[in-house]
Amino acid sequence: MGCENTTTDGAVGSHAVFVDSVLQSMTLEDKVGEMTQLTLGAIGVGKPYKLVEPQRLDTAKAYDALVTNRVGSVLNCGNHEHTPEKWHEFIAGIQHYAQQKESKIPVLYGVDAIHGPTYTTNAVLVPQQIGLAATWNEDLVRENAENTAAQIFGCGIPWNFSPVLDLGRDPRWPRFWETFGEDPLLASRMGVAMVEGYQNGEVPIAATLKHFFGYGFTLSGNDRTPAWIPERELREYFLPSFKAAIDAGAMSIMVNSGEINGIPVHTNKWMLTDLLRDELGFEGVVVTDWEDVKYLYTRHMVAKDYKEATRMSIEAGIDMCMVPLDFGFTEALLALVREGSISESRIDESVRRILVMKKQLGLFETGGMPPALEDYPNREEFEDDAAQAALESITLLKNEGQNVVDPVQPVLPLGKSGKLFVTGPTAHSLNALNGGWTGTWQGRDTVYNTPGMPHLVEALSNRFGIKRVVSEKLAMDFETAEIDRVIRAIEQTRPDYVVLALGEMPYTEIPGNDEDLALFGNQKALIRAVHKMGLPTIGVFIEGRPRTFDDVEPFMDAIVMAYLPGDFGGDAIAQVLEGSYNPSGRLPFTWPRHPSSHVTYDHKHTEEIGTDFYTNGFNPQYSFSHGLSYSSVEVTDLRLEQTSYDMGDTIHLMVGLTNVGDRITNELVCVFSQDSVASITPSVDRLRYFDRVMVGPRESMSLSVSLPVEELSFINAALQEVVEPGAFSLRVGSKTVAFNVNE
């Protein structure tokens, strides 16, 4: 199996002769079938959402779909994960039917393997994207993506619906945790790394950029609801991550399920053709999201029926419809071509892209059959990378109070002595550590947890010793009586520290909609009750979005954000609390202080005006890129070679760093720019560069940063990317340097 390390456009050219010969031999029915994608549940025994167990293909349904209707793509898992053996059975069976149709074109199988092989039993699960973003480590992202590719390819699946390149700029949005955070540069670099890991490794698969574009910035914060985003802002913030990944050769794109400025994106020809194809040069496959063509007439109300919805989406530029349960799209598209409403040449455009992708992935050579089962990789090959990603994601937000062993030191690290009392609704849950899209869509079923992987209490017991850890279970909906039980247990066990595992249980998409961003009231009540005990208290947040807790923040001596760190997250948290790992995670988003104050770091100057008219209006709980370590690194110097630059120049910045502690520190260096005057109101800060550096104990070092002047650009009122001459400054930590850009 081969997947060329090239842009999609280059791949189209290299496969043109073969693909054209296949295309010329296809009937209209063959072509429309290639543009149709069904879910595995549509061809399994039983009802789509309630398949008979053990799951297996339904002979009549599979023949009807794959032979009679020539369906060219199948996705996902029939509602839960499967063993590699079962995946081989499914894939081989599907390709067996594909060989019975006249064209014999193999089926393209896709899956949501978004934080490791999420639908494969005993696979290695890594942090969700928001946790990977907190590592700010592109190499780790790339390596874990490559490992994911190896495992799902071993199942016979060549197409992954990942990465998500939507920005996480509103934590109310339930898919916030599927993003790389709020910043375009961070999302771009992490997204490119993930695409490269999927597509350029030893056993490459196709990546899918989700969801083109502006999906995560809805007015209400709810999933699949309207967004109002002017084109300038779309280009300034939401387009760069997709453009970067397209330039890196991403093979496919999935469309935003929502609407922008009153136009459902699945009908938006400007977005899907004029911008995506003509301007950005994307030549890969554009696939819809789940049922989104049908939703054009059942939810968006812009089409009168399925046929009109199909016409609108095809004219807009989609190539493949994730139907995914019936043949309404197939029938409608056939009728539209036969009556002349859509030309067959338009159909050929989409089918050619699909065939090119199948050729790139080697399906014509292998018949789409899975590799030998004995070649399925051992999970041990990938565990270290996943564990390291979990470790590097854990973010220490606060560290005050007193350590009972050494009162001169803050409460963390806990060290080798002292008893821990652990409680909270996420303390005993491996599901909480993994989040949604884990084993099942919502990730809540304990049956599909990876055997032998520890939840937080088990991990703490393993790391600290079972005699040092006492725990009490709490459900998410615990009440006052349960808090009283916990307090009595603390009084009886007399611990040295209390660890509160806070946060959320898994969710995604519409079931995760939440109108209140505040930390749950019962968890706040627990914090207050424990605080009255007078014991050093550590809050550990295991959650997919930053819930606000300003009123109880003072009652915790140390606060750790674990995000959704995956199967190795429990041990990663334990290592950080114990001190065997010096925390290095940094926030990829701004943590709001109040539920309605979710303003991003790159806000405008007017957003800093408070009610007293002083510049205190922007007052987050924790700032973007914030994170502590056990050995602080200070920025001691910031210098430029010159104070004036021309448009084509490169700025050379020297950053002096000093580790004031006694431990080696994995430090994040962020360079933010400030544009003094601009034709579009400038942001207070914009991230322009970041890098991680290791700084030894008491070491001083200099980091050299090269920043092309053109990277200070923004999108102006004429929708052009420009750098305007004038005064600028650069900031690293609390130090800034000023310079001018000449005309």
Catalytic sites, residue numbers: 289
Cβ count near 24 (within 10 Å): 8
Question: C-alpha distances in angstroms, 167 versus 108, 135, 176, 589, 690?
Answer: 28, 17, 8, 10, 18
Residue pair 207/199 in contact (Cβ under 8 Å)? The answer is yes
CB atoms within 10 A of CB 60: 10
Rounded to 10°, the helix 184-199/138-154 angle is 40
What distances in angstroms separate CA 278 from CA 115, 260, 283, one per listed residue? Answer: 32, 20, 9
Strands (E), 20-158: 36-39, 46-47, 50-51, 73-75, 108-111
Question: Cα–Cα distances in Å, from 231 out to 199, 458, 503?
Answer: 31, 50, 36
Is there a contact between 149 and 201 (Cβ–Cβ < 8 Å)?
yes
The two tokens of residue 460 are: 């703490």
Nearest to 711 by CA among 670, 650, 669, 653: 650
Per DSSP, what are the bridge partners of residue 109? 74
CA pair distance 438, 444, nearest whole angstrom: 8
The DSSP code sequence of 120-137 is BTT------HHHHHHHT-
User: In 10 A of CB 270, how many CB atoms?
Assistant: 14
Q: How many angstroms separate the CA atoms of 21 and 13, rounded?
A: 14
- Map tokens 């699945």 to a residue: 266
523/426 Cα distance (integer angstroms): 11
Residue 499's DSSP bridge partners are 422, 538
Residue 583 in tokens: 């925390």
Sequence letter at residue 486: V
DSSP, collapsed to helix, strand or coil, labels residue 265 as helix
CA end-to-end distance (rounded Å), the chain: 52
The alpha carbon of residue 249 and the mean position of all alpha carbons in its chain are separated, in whole angstroms, by: 19
> What is the four-CA torsion angle of 24, 25, 30, 35, rounded to 10 degrees?
-30
Dist. CA 511–CA 592, nearest whole Å: 23
Pairing of strands 420-424, 469-473: parallel
CA angle 179, 182, 186 (to 5 degrees): 80
CA dist 365 and 1 (Å) reads: 8
Structure tokens that stand for 391 in this block: 């470790």
State the Rg of the chain over Cα. 26
Helix residue ranges per DSSP H, 643-740: none
DSSP state for residue 106 in the 8-state scheme = P
Q: Peptide bond preceding 240: is omega within 30 degrees of 0, i.e. cis?
A: no
Measure the CA–CA gap between 699 and 83, rounded to whole angstroms: 49
Q: Which two tokens stand for residue 40?
A: 């595995």
Q: Report how far residue 383's alpha carbon sits from residue 393's, in angstroms, rounded to the nearest whole number.
A: 15
Q: Is 717 exposed, middle or buried (0-12, 13-18, 19+ CB in 10 A)?
A: exposed
Which residue type, as a one-letter code, is found at position 229? I
Contact 504, 533 (CB under 8 A): no
- DSSP annotation of 206 reads B
Please name which of 576, 497, 482, 493 lies closest in space to residue 536, comparing C-alpha atoms: 497
Positive or negative, the CA dihedral 530, 531, 536, 539 is positive
